[in-house]
Amino acid sequence: MNPMIMPARRLAPASVGSPSERDSHQATSPTPDELQALSYFELADRLVQAWTRNAKRLQTLDALRDAIASARRQLASLPARPQLAEAHLAGLLEKRDACIIAAQVDQELALALAHECEERTRVASERPFRRAVGG
C-alpha cells in the first residue's frame, strides 16, 4: 500500500496555534488594574520572563529560518514527488508563524510592564516625601 501524501496548507497567522495556546497568550497580558496590583519585584520578574521567552524565540526563529531555507533547497532539487518536502516546509512555516505571534504577544506584555514601571517612577518622583516614608 502506497498512501498519497497531500501537501499541507499553510494557515493564516491568526489561526496558528490551538485555541488553548492563543488563550494562554491572552491570559498573560494583564489589564492595567492587574499591573497596578503587582509589586515592583513582580513587575520586574514578569519583564525578565517575557525577555527570556523572546530570547529563546529568537533562537528558535534563527533555527527555523535555516530549516526553511534547507527545505526550500531540497524542494527545488526534487523534480519528482515533492509532496513530502512541501508538507515539511508548510509545517516549518506554521511553526515560524506561531513563534512570531507569541513573540508579539510577549512584546506587548513587556511594553505594558515597562510603561507601568515608568509611570510608578514618575509618580514617586513627584511625591518625594511620601516615597521617603513608604507611602
* 14 inside domain: no
Neighbours of 113 (CB within 10 A): 23
* 30 inside domain: no
* 99 inside domain: yes
The whole-angstrom separation of Cα 82 and Cα 120 is 57
* 111 inside domain: yes
* 20 inside domain: no
* 118 inside domain: yes
The number of distinct structural domains making up the chain is 1
The whole-angstrom separation of Cα 100 and Cα 78 is 29
The whole-angstrom separation of Cα 98 and Cα 133 is 47
Which structural domain, as residue segments, surrounds residue 83?
Answer: 38-128
* 26 inside domain: no
The whole-angstrom separation of Cα 130 and Cα 116 is 19
Residue with the three cell numbers 488594574: 33
pTM: 0.64
The whole-angstrom separation of Cα 16 and Cα 99 is 9
Query: How high is the pLDDT of residue 28?
Result: 56
**pLDDT one digit per residue (tens) for the chain, 135 residues:** 444 444 444 434 433 344 444 444 444 567 878 888 888 888 889 889 998 999 999 999 999 999 999 999 988 887 777 888 889 999 999 999 999 999 999 999 988 888 888 888 877 666 655 555 555
* 17 inside domain: no
| Grid cell in block for residue 17 | 496555534
